[in-house]
Each structure stands twice: as C-alpha cells, then as structure tokens.
Chains A and B, each alone.
Chain A
Amino acid sequence: MGLKPRLSERGAQRLRIWLLLAPALSVIVVLFLGGLVSGFLRSLNYFPLIGLNDPNLDAYRSIFGDDTFVDSFILTFYIAFVSTFIASVLAVAAAVLLRPAFRGKRFVQFLFSLNLTVPHLVGAIGVLYLFSQSGLLSRLTAAGGLTDAPSDFPALVADPWAIGIIIQYVWKEVPFIGVIVLAILLSVGEDYESVARSLGASRWQAFRNVTLPLIMPGVVSASIIVFAFTFGAFEIPFLLGRTTPAALPVLAFRSYTNVDLAARPEAMAMAMVITFLSTLLVWAYLSLTKRYVRT
C-alpha cells in the first residue's frame, strides 16, 4: 500500500517540474532552435515556399571558396582570442589590486564596475572619439609636440590590426571578469596565501601555485562568455572595423541585407559557420583549460 502512492507522488513531482519548465523551454525551442533550423534549411538552398525544393551545398562551397570569408574568419578569431586573453590577464591583475581593504575602496569599486552597465555601443563611440586620428589622444600628442597632424597619430580605428576593436572589448570586459575574480578572492580570503608565504614561498610562487588555481575556474567561465561574445558581436566591428576584411558577423549581415536576394543562402551559411565555430571554440577552450583548472 505504501509503495503505490509514493510512486504517484514522485510522478506528480516530476510533472510539476516539467510544468514549471515548459514555458521557458517552449520559448527557447521555438525561437532559438526554430531560428537555427530555419537558417540551416535556408543555407542549404531549401525554401519550398519559393519553389526551392532541392537542398544543396552551393552556399557553403561558395563562401569557403571566397578569400573574403577566409580572411574574415581569421580576423574574427584573432580579435576574439587577443581581446579575451588581454582582458583576462588585466582583470586578474585588477582584482589583485582591489583585494585588500583601503580607504575609498567603495568608491574605487563603484568606478571599477561603472562600465558593466554601459552598453558596448557607447563604449565603441567613446573609443572612436578618443583614439581616432583626430580624437582626443591625437590632440594631446599634438599639444605635447609629438605629432603635427592627424595623420602622424597611429591609426587605431579601422586599422589592419583591429586595435580599436580590441581596446573596446578589453575596456568593457576587464570589469566583467574582474568583478567575478574579485568576489572569489574575497570569499577565499588570504589564509592559504599566508600559509604558503610562511612556509617560504615567494610572493610570485604563492600567487602562481595557491591563488591562481583557486580563481582559475571563475576566470575560465567568465572568459568563455567573453570569447563567445567577442566572436559573434556585430556593432563594435561595424563601427570600429575596416570594410575589408570585416568581422564575420558584419560580413554575414552585409550579405543578408544585400539587394541581391540570391546572396541570402550564403549569409545563412555564414551564420551556421559562426554558430558551429563559437560552439566548437567554447568546447575546445573548456577542455583545454580544464586540465589547467585541476592543477
């Protein structure tokens, strides 16, 4: 007698869980998976509504045969990798700087987290007005006698090395990763480090072998989000980047909004490549760093 009601009780519990999840899952399945599937079919030139009934790989062949796409891919990967790396290193340094108690810490922390909520677009415009060849920094070097004309100032916006884009990402993501690392540092405390120091470890050794492994999981999970974002972001390279090669999302958007509708399957193919690569890169990054996290 005791068994049957308990089983049904567990069934009711499971039903309740899935009912709680149902609205969220439906939205994500319909919008997210629906969008991906629709894009995938379109990338295969399959669109029965306008009489395209035979799926093929023409769009993929076309984009991979095109140097523009390959250059864009390399550029996008480079931007995402360099930005994430620099932002992570600076964020750890910033968190270490901000860890101890000092006077005015609340105010310093508020300024540090200020641009967490500043939209990327605003940061990009700020970088534009600050680092362009007629921007504020260029005017300062002119006043200091270092440059005579805008063209003497190095091109940091729409430049071949995407420096403006990287500066913007680093600017925006240092506080993001930094706040997460700082929270871990504060919750761990300084005890482990003091023990290592009293046992004769140098400052660097204590940091490298005690503190770093403790904060690494946080750094990794935050930098995965940053990597995926910088790989797929649109408005920053759209504003601060060159026309060719353009970042992948910019290239996909341009070919989607091309007046020639025949370019749309190619845009969809690029979207699929972006999706696949960002998933793959996140997975690779995870499995690479997992080893490091454990040591």
Chain B
Amino acid sequence: MTAVRESAVMGRAGVGRWLGIAALLTFLVLPLVPLVIWSVAFRWVYPDILPSEYSGRAWSSVFSSTNDVLGATIDTTLVALVVTVLSVLIGVPAGRALGLHEFRGKRLVELLILAPIIVPGLAVALGIHTLFIRYGLANSLVGVAIVHLIPTLPYMTLVMSGVFANYDADYEQQARSLGAGVIATQRYVTLPAIFPGLVVGALFTFLISWSQYVLTLLIGGGQVVTLPLLLFNFARSGENAIAGALSVIFVVPGIIVLALSNRYLAGEDAAVGGIGNL
C-alpha cells in the first residue's frame, strides 16, 4: 500500500521534474532563437511569426570583403590571443605563489587580485583613459590589449591558484634529486600536471577578451573596432539580419570552448568563478 503510494508520488515528481527542466531550458535557449531566424530572414514584418521571405543576404554580406566584419574579426582575435598569452605568462607564476605558499601579506595580495573582478571595469577605464591619452596608448590595438588585462589577468591568476592548490610540488623535488635540471623539471613534471587547468583557464581568458565591449569602446576610441562593437552598432541601427548573423559568429568560439572544457567544468572549479564577468 505504502509502496504503491510512494511510487505514485515518485512518478508525479518525475513528471514535475521534466516539466521544470523543459521550462528552464526553454527560457535559456529561447532568446537565441530569433537571432538565428533573423540571420536568414529577408522579410519578417509584424505580425508574422516566421519570415515571409528567406535569404542568405546577411550571411554573404557578413563574409564579403567590402564589409568591416573580416577586419573586426581579425582585430578581435589578435587582441584576444595577445591578451591570453600575456595573462598566461604573468598569471601562472602568480597563481603558483598563491596556490602553493603561505606567506605574510597573502590576504592583501589576494584582495588586490580580486578587486578588479569586483570593481566595475568602466569605473577604472575612465581613469585609465586619461593616463593612456598622455602616454599615446589610447585609440590603439596595443592600448586595448593592455586594458583587457584588467579583467583577464586576475581571472587567470585565480584559476591557476586553484590548480596549484591541488598540486604536489614534491614531485619537482624528486625530479631534481634524480638529476633533472630546472627547465626539464618544469617541462616534464610541472607542465603536464597543470596542463588541463592551464588550457581551460587560457580558453576562458580568450573568451573574456573576445567579448569585451565597454573597455574597447572607451580605450579604442572608435579607432579600434572589434566584433562586439560592430554587433552593437548593427543591433542599434535596426539591421536585424546582419546583427543576427554576427551574433551567431560571435557565440561560436564560446560554444566550441564549452564543448571542449565541459568535463573540466563539472567540478567546483575555479574556472567557473570568472565566467560571471564574461
């Protein structure tokens, strides 16, 4: 009797759970749907639920050389690559210091590294703009790449600090005592151990730079046009089809990164922590 009632309750909970999951996923996927439809729409006027005419015009225009899209894609990628390399080179040593060692002043260092994640980028960027104008860094790709370090470097450092907290430095000692040099130890002991975390952190660092809007807008001063700036302008000026196609292009790297790193994000991973800034 009780067993019957129990299973009936379970069955109902099962249906309720699936309804909940369906509602959740609908809410999460739905805003992306009109973007995809718009990208292939030619005529889509109110109150039509689907476009009355379709066309590949937006896509061919996005890929044509007369458009700014190619140049913007190259600039966005270039900046993101430079920012990622710099963040890795600077963030990995700092993450090692924070993850492996206790030392006086550690709390202060952690606070200083956390601060750029908490304080809004725009608030800092206004002051930086004044400095960059004076040193000739405003309105340039170099200046934009430098300013992107503000959100990316703290993120990479925190990810690596988490990775090194789970790393046993004794293996390095053993390698050294067996006669391995400093470089060989780093190459064959340290790097393989931290590699998965390093790759996931670097991929997300790339994405953080890739999707920056206001820092680029302000420091680039309209001279540096990256994909998000172009996308914003098309969306604002009502060019829905092109904005839709650009949106799809803009999300592709993120979805690839997510598919690649999905299993690493399953744990309570430091890598997730920084995505709030994406």
Measured CB to CB, the residues of A under 8 A from B are 13-14, 17-21, 23-25, 27-29, 31-32, 34-40, 42, 49, 93-94, 97-98, 100, 102, 108, 110-123, 125-130, 134-136, 138-140, 142-143, 150, 168, 171, 173-176, 179-180, 183-184, 186-187, 218, 221-222, 224-226, 228-229, 231-235, 239, 249, 252-253, 256, 267-268, 271-272, 274-275, 278-279, 282
| 11 examples of A-B residue contacts, CB within 8 angstroms | A20-B94, A21-B94, A23-B93, A28-B116, A31-B128, A114-B29, A116-B258, A117-B251, A180-B272, A232-B122, A267-B126
Nearest chain B residue, comparing its CB with the CB of A32 = B116
- For B115-128 the 0/1 string (1 means CB < 8 A from A) is 11111111111111
- CB of B235 within 8 A of CB of A239, answer yes
Q: Which residue of A39, A94, A100 is within 8 Å of B124 (Cβ)?
A: A39
Residue of B nearest to A14 (CB): B103
Whether A117 and B255, one on each chain, are in contact in the complex, defined by CB atoms closer than 8 angstroms, is yes
| Size bin of chain B's contact surface | 35 or more
Q: Does B24 contact A (CB under 8 A)?
A: yes
Say yes or no for B96: interface residue by CB 8 A criterion. Answer: yes
How many Å lie between the Cα of A97 and that of B28 in the bound state? Answer: 15
Given contacts A17-B103, A112-B24, A224-B118, list 9 more A-B pairs with CB under 8 A: A20-B97, A36-B119, A36-B127, A108-B25, A119-B210, A119-B250, A120-B278, A150-B46, A228-B118
Q: What B residues does A275 contact at CB under 8 A? A: 119-120, 123-124
Q: In the bound complex, do residue B251 and residue A24 qualify as a contact, i.e. CB atoms below 8 Å apart? A: no
8 Å CB contact of B251 from A18, A118, A140, A150: A118
A28-B153, A35-B127 in contact; A121/B120 too (CB < 8 A)? no
How many Å from the CB of A254 to the closest CB on chain B? 11
Please tell me if the beta carbons of A176 and B25 are within 8 angstroms of each other in the complex: no
The answer to whether A232 touches B101 (Cβ under 8 A) is: no
Q: Is B265 interfacial (CB 8 A cutoff)?
A: yes
**Residues of B in contact with A (beta carbons under 8 Å apart):** 17, 20-21, 24-25, 27-35, 38, 46-49, 89-91, 93-94, 96-98, 101, 103, 109, 112-113, 115-131, 134, 146-147, 149-150, 153-154, 157, 207, 210-211, 213-214, 218, 228, 231-232, 235-236, 240, 243-244, 247, 250-251, 253-255, 257-259, 262, 265-269, 272-273, 275-278
The interface residues of chain B lying within 8 Å CB-to-CB of A235 are: 213-214, 228, 232
Tell me if A121 and B97 are in contact (CB < 8 A).
no
Q: Within the complex, what minimum Cβ distance (angstroms) separates B58 from chain A? A: 14
- For B123, the chain A residues whose CB sits under 8 A away are 36, 39, 232, 249, 252, 271-272, 274-275, 278
Q: Return B24 CB to nearest CB of chain A, in Å.
A: 5
- In the A-B complex, list the 8 residue pairs whose CB atoms are closest, starting with the nearest: A232-B120, A39-B127, A117-B254, A126-B31, A24-B94, A119-B211, A35-B128, A129-B34
> For B124, what are the chain A residues with a Cβ–Cβ distance below 8 Å?
31-32, 35-36, 39, 271, 275
Q: Would B236 and A239 count as touching, CB distance under 8 A?
A: yes
Given contacts A23-B93, A180-B268, contact A117 B257 (CB under 8 A): yes
Cα A203 to Cα B33 in complex, Å, equals: 37
Q: Which residues of A contact B34 (CB under 8 A)?
A: 126, 129-130, 135-136
Q: Do B122 and A252 touch across chains, with their CB atoms under 8 A apart? A: yes
In the complex, A227→B126 CA distance in Å?
21
Instruction: Note all chain A residues with C-beta closer than 8 A to B272.
Output: 116, 176, 179-180, 183
Complex Cα gap A274–B122 (Å): 9
Instruction: Point out the residue from A19, A97, A117 that lies within 8 Å of B21, measured CB to CB.
Output: A97
Q: Which residues of B contact A135 (CB under 8 A)?
A: 34
A42: chain B residues within 8 A (beta carbon): 127, 130
Q: How far is the CB of A224 from chain B (nearest CB, A)?
A: 8
Q: A24-B93, A120-B211, A139-B47 are in contact. Are A129 and B38 (CB under 8 A)?
A: yes
B33 CB contacts on chain A under 8 angstroms: 126, 130, 136
